[in-house]
């Protein structure tokens, strides 16, 4: 059965901000959250998670990590486990962002293992996929994204513990976005792919986010599309006013 999908606006702060910046930004987002009309999530860098958790305490804004290791613990210098994220107060973790796929050579298999770790720890995995500009120009966007979705979403994923974010690599941080028709088409394709693989209930209920140069000015059009259930916002999530305006324009 399809239940109405609640719009999720997620901020990916990437590697930005020191402790004071994170606290101030989180407090400003928390202060405006009650008027948002949708679910809000912020994903600060690991070093700011505890500070932001404290700043968000008592608000409806959820906290997420930007990455996790597949293992619970062990000799993995520089990594953070899903259990550690949960322990700090996270309910979500982004996995397979294109910057990690590119900078750290992350494969679909590794991304799937990270999503499984998120589920093991009780977190919702925000699994990112998206084609490069060359792949889109070659007419391969649907095929590339479909393959990433099939390879990155765990077998036992549920619509409750999984969110899929479509982020075309060429739209991230560039100010460029696909046309609304292209966004709707690829989201509809992703919903068909996951419905076939994970069943109709999963397909009907899983939230599919769009990411890549989402701003207050384009949020209404992009978030109004039938198969778009929210946004993964990078640059604009670093300004509380813009992030909240995106949420307000998406309700």
Can you give the binding site for ligand PGA, defined by CB under 6 A? 12, 167, 172-173, 211-214, 232-236
Give start and end residues of each alpha helix (H) in the chain: 19-32, 49-56, 82-88, 98-103, 108-120, 133-137, 141-152, 180-198, 200-205, 216-223, 240-248
The answer to whether the CB of 83 falls within 8 A of the CB of 72 is yes
Shortest Å distance, C-beta 130 to ligand PGA: 9
The answer to whether the CB of 194 falls within 8 A of the CB of 174 is no
List the structure tokens of 169.
């690599």
Judge whether 97 counts as a catalytic residue.
Answer: yes
How far is residue 249 from each of residues 58, 131, 179, measured CA to CA in Å? 24, 26, 18
Question: Judged by CB, which is closer to ligand PGA: 170, or 202?
Answer: 170
Question: Judged by CB, which is closer to ligand PGA: 204, or 239?
Answer: 239
The answer to whether the CB of 95 falls within 8 A of the CB of 167 is no
Q: Give me the catalytic one of 69, 167, 187, 198.
A: 167
CA–CA distance, 173 with 23 (Å, rounded to integer): 24
Question: Judged by CB, which is closer to ligand PGA: 101, or 119?
Answer: 101
CA–CA distance, 150 with 120 (Å, rounded to integer): 20
Question: Judged by CB, which is closer to ligand PGA: 167, or 229?
Answer: 167
Question: Judged by CB, which is closer to ligand PGA: 83, or 144?
Answer: 144
Q: Give me the catalytic one of 97, 187, 189, 198.
A: 97
What does 69-110 look like in DSSP terms, one character per residue? BSSSSSS-TT--BHHHHHHHT-SEEEE--HHHHHHS---HHH
List the catalytic residues. Answer: 97, 167
């Amino acid at each position: 059965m399809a239940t109405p999908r609640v719009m999720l606006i997620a901020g990916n702060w990437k590697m930005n901000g020191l402790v004071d910046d994170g606290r101030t930004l989180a407090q400003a987002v928390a202060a405006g959250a009650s008027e948002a009309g949708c679910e809000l999530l912020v994903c600060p860098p690991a070093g700011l998670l505890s500070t932001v958790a404290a700043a968000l305490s008592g608000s409806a804004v959820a906290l997420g990590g930007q990455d996790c290791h597949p293992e619970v613990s062990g000799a993995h210098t520089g990594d953070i486990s899903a259990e550690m994220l949960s322990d700090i107060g996270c309910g979500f973790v982004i996995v397979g962002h294109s910057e990690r796929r590119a900078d750290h050579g992350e494969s679909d298999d590794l991304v799937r293992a990270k999503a499984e770790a998120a589920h093991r720890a009780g977190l919702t995995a925000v699994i990112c996929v998206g084609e490069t500009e060359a792949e889109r120009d070659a007419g391969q966007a649907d095929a590339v994204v479909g393959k990433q979705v099939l390879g990155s979403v765990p077998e036992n994923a549920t619509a409750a513990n999984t969110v899929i974010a479509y982020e075309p690599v060429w739209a991230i941080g560039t100010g460029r976005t696909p046309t609304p028709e292209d966004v709707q088409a690829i989201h509809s394709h992703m919903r068909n792919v996951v419905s076939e693989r994970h069943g109709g209930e999963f397909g009907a209920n899983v939230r599919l986010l769009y990411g890549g140069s989402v701003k207050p000015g384009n949020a209404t059009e992009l978030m109004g599309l039938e198969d778009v259930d929210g946004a993964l916002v990078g640059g604009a999530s670093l300004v509380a006013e813009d992030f909240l305006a995106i949420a307000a324009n998406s309700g």
